[in-house]
Amino acid sequence: MAKKARLNNMEIQKITCLSGWGQKTDSLEFIFNDQCFGPIFVESLDYAQFNKAEEFFDSIKINSPEILIGWSLGGQLAIRLIEKQILKPKLLILIAPPFQLVKDARIQAGMAPATFKKFRDDFANAPGKALKQFAILTAMNDRNAADIARDLDVNDKNFIQLVYWLDELSRFSCFDVDFSNMPRTVYFHGAGDMIVAAAQAQYFRSRIKNFREETFLRCGHAPQLNDISRLRKIIAEEINFLR
């Protein structure tokens, strides 16, 4: 790992972000735009420009960050990067990632196959309209639902690649992941999430040894947009512990 820079004799923590499906690449960076974090360097990885997961994994040439954060599909990809030891963070922050998005015999707390297929078909035929529907679904059951649905920073490019990543979401399962390399992990999820059922947290909890779970009530699929002050406070606690 490259030597960390210093500012006023304090180490600068490096944070790498992976956003959710259909969201702009840098949509998580605002989380760290607050003085509670001290000196940090934040970057985002753009998986949506690739047509295959392995191409994305092979493209990563950066030094490992101290903190890796992923939202939804981004969280699932963060787990895969650690499993492959491409990145070796000291802290993993997961925001509502699916253990397995579509339900089958192994997991019932998932999206019905027919529901997923309809959304996938709608997106392939009219991506702009489907993304608006997705924003509404992301915000559903949240106390700030109207604001979140209106202001969600969606990705209005790379529609062909987004179809691939949507398919990747449907076919990949964390049942196939070796969790032995997972670092300290903080897991945020909304109690009313309509995309990834809150019950999926139990599958991560039983497999990650050093695991902190934070549930946000009256919250949908975007805890970072539900109560940013609480989320920042928890993350800052964890980062300060690393220092």
Extract the residue ranges of the chain whose pLDDT is less than 70. 1-11
Specify the DSSP element, H or E, that contains 130.
helix 127-139
What's the CATH number of domain 12-242, 3.30.230.20, 3.40.50.300, 3.40.50.720, 3.40.50.1820?
A: 3.40.50.1820
For the sheet with 13-18, list strands across it: 40-44, 13-18, 67-71, 91-95, 184-190, 211-216
Beta bridge partners of 42: 15
Residue range 101-150, pLDDT digits in tens: 999 999 999 999 999 999 999 999 999 999 999 999 999 999 999 999 98
Is the pTM of the predicted complex or chain greater than 0.85? yes
